[in-house]
A and B are shown apart, each in its own frame.
Chain A
Amino acid sequence: MWSQIVALLIKEFLAIVKDKKSRFVLIGPPIIQLFVFGYGATFDLDQVPIAIYNEDQSIASRDFVKRFTASTAFTQTLTITHNEQIKPALDEKKVLAILHLGPHFSRDLYTGRQSAIAQILIDGRDSNTALIALNYMQSILAQFNLDWAKQHHLNLPPAQLRIRAWFNPNLESRWFIVSGIIGLLTLVVTILVTALSIAREREQGTFDQLLVTPFTPFQILVGKALPGLIIGVIEASFIIFMAVFWFKLPMVGSLAALYLGVFLFVFSVIGVGLMISSLAVTQQQGLLGAFLFIVPAIILSGFATPIANMPELVQKLTLINPLRYFLVIVRGVFLEGLPAEVLFSQYWPLAIIGVVTLSGAAWMFRRRMY
């Protein structure tokens, strides 16, 4: 019984490793995506172009402007001297925002009779970026107010926020993204390996040959699932390794809690992959099916947009998405150091998804045995 499964495993691995295309699927995209996403995808603002329209031209106003231009978030690419220049600068997307200081800025600042007005004209077409940029500007302004009050012995602002990020102390979005990539790439690779496995054999006619041998359907299923499990776990380990040693993510929690999650996640994804595979007649269909699953699974996982922001119905839909649970686990272990007990609420849904999809795959695959 087990020696036959071992024979199936050897065959499966040889088929994957010797086939140029599947070898590439395993090695190429994960590395490329890891670096592209790891470096490319970020929520942090970096060198956002802004224009300065300073009508005041005093030491105070120049000091104020400098706080903006010296920040790494912004870079001054344009200096405006007339009102007419404002409209084209924003329309043509030359800059994201314009900082406008009126002629009375320093006078108001020194006399203190009324608040000095610094006007921000911001391009709201990309609302997400605009909001983040405003957020930065607010904090620059708050810091300016505080420093100004201290220097001129004025009354300090009556209240102020003091923020300390509990996890991810520097609020680096790379930590958030790279930890998500662990889930994303494990999902993509595992599903491709399994979704193509039966379809490939069907396409090449070897599946019939397999079905007339004394293998039981259970053995064939195990023979198809185990390579996926092994490859998925290895793939996840590689990305975890890269996350810790290349992207320098802190690994706060326990490796055991993480690996329990990896194992259950890969298990549930294999079920989905084999279900797709048992429905597909050709590799092309298998690939198509895989992507039909992968894209919504990523969008509805909380990888980029929080599940809490989604409409009620869609939130309910995410409950059947294995990636949703795994992202909680991986971020929980990496950034929060959550122990396995706390993550139990994430483990069991994965286990259930795995059992249901694998039995579904087994059922479909028996039914399609013709």
Chain B
Amino acid sequence: MTDSSEPVDTLALACHQVCKQFTVGQRTVEALSDVSLSVTKSSVVGLVGPDGAGKTTLLRLAAGLLVADSGAISVFGQDCDRQVDSVHQLIGYMPQRFGLYEDLSVGENLNLYADLHGVSQVERQQRFDDLMHMTGLASFTQRLAGKLSGGMKQKLGLACTLLSQPQLLLLDEPSVGVDPVSRRELWSIIEHQVKTNGMTVVLSTAYLDEAERCDEVVLLDEGNKLDQNTPAYFNKLMQGRSYRARHAELSNRHLQTLLSGQTGIVDAVIQGDSVRVVSESKDLLESPAFKQISDKLTIETTSPRLEDAFIALLRQRHPVAVAKTDHSAVKPESPLSDEVVIQVDHVDRWFGQFQAVKKLSFTVNRGEIFGLLGANGAGKTTTFRMLCGLLPPSNGQLRVVGVDLRKAAAKARARIGYMSQKFSLYSALSVKQNLEFFSSAYGLRNAKREQCMQWALQQFDLVVDQDNESGDLPLGYKQRLAMACALMHEPEILFLDEPTSGVDPLARREFWNRTNQLAASGVTVLVTTHFMEEAEYCDRLIIMRDGDILIAGTPAEIKQQVTTAELPEPTMEDAFIQLVEAKQSNE
């Protein structure tokens, strides 16, 4: 079946020259083209790649839910097309949104899936106990699945998938929107299964630090397999090309803006108190961008990580699009204004018996990038919707530019821009029609309107796509269009709700570059995210958990709190986990 050198039956998953095409609207998308890969038994393999790389398609083909256009896929030697039924006995597949019945309790959901998988009554209890113990859900069996937090839902989904004791576990982005603590628990469950049951796991992920925990990583891009190897191999590839840079006068954000997109520099991101720079070759200092400012720069090498290799490999295929930064405009940052533009004062929000937001208070100053971090269900989106006037608070006061947007005149809303989590533009309308509609909505007219639309099309690289239906655009482009629509009227305050959710690292960099530029021009940005590492881009942030503020401050201040001798350079994720654990032990 495959011409792989290894005997077929030891391979948990074997793909041989697999092709799959989809037709979306008027365009044909090559989801997978000529992909061959093999996964050995009892290994954990991570699929990584930008949106539309074909990760989900590959998993669905392996699960026998789709049929390949050409090529062959087999699971433990069983063909996924012709022997679907026996393949289904071997695999457990957890899609991105697992089908939990929200109106059933945790126990009822488990029973239902046990029935569906034909688990006998005798075995059932033992398995339930094991799984409930492993997932830490034992004390919640009576609770409705709909009332669980994002992390708990995901763990329950995994438990339901594990009920049939599959030999090959296929997980599609299992940790999206899950808080770091639950994420760690998910991983320990997966690793436990591999160790004790010899299970094979194939998972797709947007978190590259997660991919680093896999035995092997498969890098996909636009339906092509770029590489498959161990994380150590990828790191070795990057040896000596990762640096940390600091500038005596410029802020990290300015340094990053200055460096990113320059020739010779593959990647520049803020990490802790310095800027992480990945160079194209081993001599970073030769780069012209560096020579300019090298006298005030301190540079040290640092150990590479998988993300560096990932970005480097992708950059070869997708040269940087955003090199439009006006470098002459980069000057030492003006001190932040202390004019308060957003004020949240003891705000509560109840949904029936459930308190989504608890006595929340914070302020945001003009020109700040303010982050609202936390896992799904932490209360970020509720807070966000109250600020935009989409939801009234149960108690307390919210003021944006001095007014309550819920009660204020419509004119006040012209001063804010809003971009929501879900793509919320008119998908039946073309890119241009969407821009036309939103520019008119904000009262732009005639020459001014034309000018703003041209600016949006140019700035966001949408000129080519302007007559395409926006619903057919790839996710990254949809997000650009949404941002363009939110920015055309030059708002003072920009509300961004999970703008990077489900967006790959490349698009995320592009997004943050734009946001940084906006902030530099004096726009206040309020952004929610569940990516802890994105906290680094914020001037100040609060981390929310269960409707409460876990901690507030600048990224440095927050990390300061958990810095110890063993952990000299904690990441934001470390900080989150430590703070949650400290809080739980107090309770």
Binding site for B on A (CB under 8 A): 3-4, 6-8, 10-11, 14-15, 18-19, 204-206, 208-216, 369-370
Contact = CB atoms under 8 A, between A and B. Distances in A.
Interface in B434-477: 436-438, 440-443, 445, 469
A209 B414 CA distance: 12
Given A7-B440, A208-B388, 17 more contacts: A3-B445, A4-B440, A4-B441, A7-B436, A11-B426, A11-B429, A14-B428, A205-B422, A205-B423, A208-B385, A208-B420, A210-B441, A211-B389, A212-B413, A214-B410, A214-B413, A215-B441
17 contacts: A4-B440, A7-B437, A7-B440, A10-B437, A11-B426, A15-B429, A205-B420, A205-B424, A209-B418, A209-B424, A211-B390, A212-B418, A212-B495, A214-B442, A214-B443, A215-B441, A370-B385
B575 interface: no
Nearest to A216: B410
B188 interface: no
B142 interface: no
Nearest to B386: A370
Contacts of A6: 440
A213 B413 contact: yes
Interface residues of B, number: 35
Interface of B: 385, 388-392, 405-406, 410-411, 413-414, 416, 418, 420, 422-429, 433, 436-438, 440-443, 445, 469, 485, 495
B437 A206 contact: no
A15 B437 CA distance: 12
Given A370-B385, A370-B390, A370-B391, A19 B416 contact: no
Contact of B428 (A3, A19, A215): A19
Contacts of B420: 205, 208-209
A367 to B, nearest CB: 10
4 nearest A-B pairs in the assembled complex, by CB-CB distance: A7-B440, A205-B424, A18-B428, A370-B391
Contacts of B485: 209
A204 B437 contact: no
Contacts, number: 83
Contacts of B443: 3-4, 214
Given A205-B423, A370-B385, A370-B391, A213 B438 contact: yes
B238 to A, nearest CB: 40
B414 A214 contact: yes
Contact of B389 (A10, A14, A212): A212
A14 B434 CA distance: 10
A214 B429 CA distance: 21
B440 A204 contact: no
B428 A212 contact: no
- Residue of B388, B405, B437 contacting most chain A CB atoms (<10 Å): B437
B440 A14 contact: no
- Residue of B411, B418, B426, B427 contacting most chain A CB atoms (<10 Å): B426
B410 to A, nearest CB: 4
Contacts of A7: 436-437, 440-441
Contacts of B423: 205
Contacts of A204: 422, 424, 426-427
A6 B436 CA distance: 12
A19 B442 CA distance: 25
